Amino acid sequence: MPSFALGPGFGPLSNRAPQYQNQTTLVIDNHGFLRFAAFSRRILALPHEILTEIFLHCLPDVEFVEPDMTSAPLLLCGICRQFREIALSTPELWSSLNFNLGWADEDGIEEGILRWLSRARRNPLSLCLSDSEGMWTSDSAWSIMQTVVGLSPQWRNIDLNLAPDWLDSTLPPGGNFPLLEKLALTMLDGFSVRISFHDAPKLRQFVAPVYHPLQSSNMQVPWHQITTLRMTRKPPPFLDGPCFENLTLQFWHVGDLDISPFISFVSRSSFQLHTLALSLALSTDFIYIAQSLKELPSLAYLKIEITCLLWSVFVLADRMDTVFHLFIGDHTFLPNLESLHIIITDLVAVREITIFELLRWRWAARGITRLCSFRLAHDCDVPVLDEIVNSSWEFQRLAAEGMDLYFGLHQPSIDWVYRA
């Protein structure tokens, strides 16, 4: 039987595997919510495996699924008995969870979360646990946290945004993490958690928004196998991972800025960095760091966030010109660059003629990868400058030829260095 009809307005559903994902649009409305019509008997005759596959594609397109009666998987349980039975017997529907422990005291929440986790059975888990108030002490919260810790051998993607004391008292000091691929720990300065992740052979991504130097000795991370590293607030005192492909660093404080670990890192040739995101203050070191990028010939995607602080418009324009000219005329400077994304905060001052020169050369130069995407976002209301750039014939010509271009106000969902 090649296809099935869901009912009026839904069209046919195929049972051929390559078409499963495309069929998601048949059951999701324009706002991304599941929609249902009166079912014909034929929908109930769909094979179990077909419904299971469709249900999986109904899950929200997010890293961690938040319990919500208006979306899968909970919504699927309320349609009919057959849907409920299939949903409850499909562990993959329950293997992702986003939960705030501050809600644990509400009626039925603890039981519901524990049931959710039990339905995942032995599936690899993607879990995000947070505590917005940083003060949870209830028995319900402890019960949930202890259950999650007990499931650590099933962790695949874990994001813990918890107060330091709770992390220190709940994480297993010598845990077993055979399935762990991504680890995100949101910590406070000065927190020294004692835990080893050396027994995590699949761990490749490590995210630590706040990483204190003391943690380098108390938290053991297998740096030799990490390919994606994201750190902010304080760059680590060491960057010795030989396998980094995706790196995000934030240099916030100009006064005690130590860029030597980064300069030492880029001077090595044993890695193949593909994506780099940097958040920098506009200082003399800013130029030095930009020049050091020449040591990264493998780099394809570069995002730089520049905080201008109290610099004048003329100083900013001169320094931006200096940086932009690094990308022009030199075939050895980032020869594989495909995307350049620049975010300027506090103040915007660039010379459009230099931008056009950069774009022209990177689009037409032979012997290097063509720059396919250029985005310059700022948080200043300067419609005149935006209009000059966007309405220029050069900008429009490059866009017509296929370059992805943007010059204008920043968009939080895109123009944030930590989303690199």
DSSP state string for 312-329:
-HHHHHHHHHHHHHHTSS
Specify whether 71 is located in the same domain as 99: no
Which range of 234-238, 268-272, 401-405 scores highest in mean pLDDT? It is: 401-405
Specify whether 123 is located in the same domain as 159: yes
Specify whether 112 is located in the same domain as 217: yes
Specify whether 107 is located in the same domain as 80: no
Task: Please give the pLDDT value at position 3.
Answer: 37
- Choose between 345 and 299: higher pLDDT: 299
- Choose between 351 and 120: higher pLDDT: 120
Task: Please give the pLDDT value at position 96.
Answer: 97
Give pTM, 2 decimals.
0.80
pLDDT-derived band at 418, boundaries 50, 70, 90: low
160 alpha-carbon distance from chain centroid? 15
Task: Please give the pLDDT value at position 213.
Answer: 52
pLDDT-derived band at 2, boundaries 50, 70, 90: very low
Specify whether 109 is located in the same domain as 58: no
State how far the alpha carbon of 290 is from the alpha carbons of 231, 249, 271, 318, 338, in Å: 19, 14, 18, 14, 17
DSSP element (H, E) containing 206: strand 205-208
Looking at residues 123-146, what average pLDDT do you find? 82
Structural domain including 53 reads 1-86
Task: Find where tokens 């939960």 sit.
Answer: 99
From 97-106, 162-171, 199-208, 241-250, the region with the lowest mean pLDDT: 162-171
Specify whether 101 is located in the same domain as 213: yes
Task: Please give the pLDDT value at position 136.
Answer: 56
Task: Please give the pLDDT value at position 63.
Answer: 92
Are the CB atoms for 370 and 331 separated by under 8 Å?
A: no
What percentage of the chain has pLDDT greater than the value 70? 74
* Residue 55 placed within a domain: yes
The 10s digit of each residue's pLDDT in 87-97 is: 999 999 999 99
Choose among 290, 308, 291: nearest CA to 346.
308
* Residue 47 placed within a domain: yes
* Residue 193 placed within a domain: yes
Enumerate the β-bridge partners of residue 407.
Answer: 376
Q: Would the pLDDT of 301 be above 60?
A: yes
- Of 44, 64, 86, the residue at which a domain comes to its end is 86
The 10s digit of each residue's pLDDT in 352-408 is: 889 999 999 999 999 999 999 999 998 877 666 778 788 889 899 999 999 999 998
Number of domains present in the structure of the chain: 2
Specify whether 120 is located in the same domain as 206: yes
* Residue 33 placed within a domain: yes
297 burial (CB, 10 Å; 0-12 / 13-18 / 19+) is middle
Report the amino acid identity of residue 290: A
Burial track 84-105 (b if 16+ CB lie within 10 A, e otherwise): eebbeebebbbbbbbbbbbbbe
Task: Find where tokens 């990177």 sit.
Answer: 362
Specify whether 10 is located in the same domain as 71: yes
- Of 222, 244, 264, the residue at which a domain comes to its end is 222
Q: Do the strands 301-307 and 275-281 form a parallel or antiparallel pair, or are they unpaired? A: parallel
Task: Please give the pLDDT value at position 409.
Answer: 87
What number of helices (H) and strands (E) belong to the chain?
Answer: 13, 16
Specify whether 34 is located in the same domain as 123: no
pLDDT-derived band at 120, boundaries 50, 70, 90: very high
* Residue 335 placed within a domain: no
- Contact residues for 299 (Cβ-Cβ < 8 A; gap 6+): 273, 274, 275, 276, 293, 334, 336, 337
* Residue 8 placed within a domain: yes
How high does pLDDT run on average in the chain?
Answer: 80
Phi-psi region of 267 (alpha: psi -120 to 50; beta: other; left: phi over 0): alpha
**Distance between CA 335 and CA 327 in Å, rounded?**
9
Looking at residues 102-125, what average pLDDT do you find? 91
The 10s digit of each residue's pLDDT in 203-218 is: 999 988 766 554 555 6
Specify whether 49 is located in the same domain as 126: no
Task: Please give the pLDDT value at position 15.
Answer: 46
pLDDT-derived band at 5, boundaries 50, 70, 90: very low
**Distance between CA 175 and CA 150 in Å, rounded?**
10
Task: Please give the pLDDT value at position 210.
Answer: 65
* Residue 191 placed within a domain: yes
**Distance between CA 282 and CA 305 in Å, rounded?**
10
> Cβ atoms within 10 A of the Cβ of 160, count?
21
Helices (H), 154-259: 164-170, 215-218
Task: Please give the pLDDT value at position 14.
Answer: 47
- Of 198, 222, 246, the residue at which a domain comes to its end is 222
Specify whether 107 is located in the same domain as 40: no
Q: Would the pLDDT of 253 be above 90?
A: no
* Residue 314 placed within a domain: no
pLDDT-derived band at 420, boundaries 50, 70, 90: very low
Specify whether 99 is located in the same domain as 216: yes
pLDDT-derived band at 177, boundaries 50, 70, 90: very high
From 251-255, 256-260, 326-330, 366-370, the region with the lowest mean pLDDT: 251-255
- Choose between 233 and 249: higher pLDDT: 249
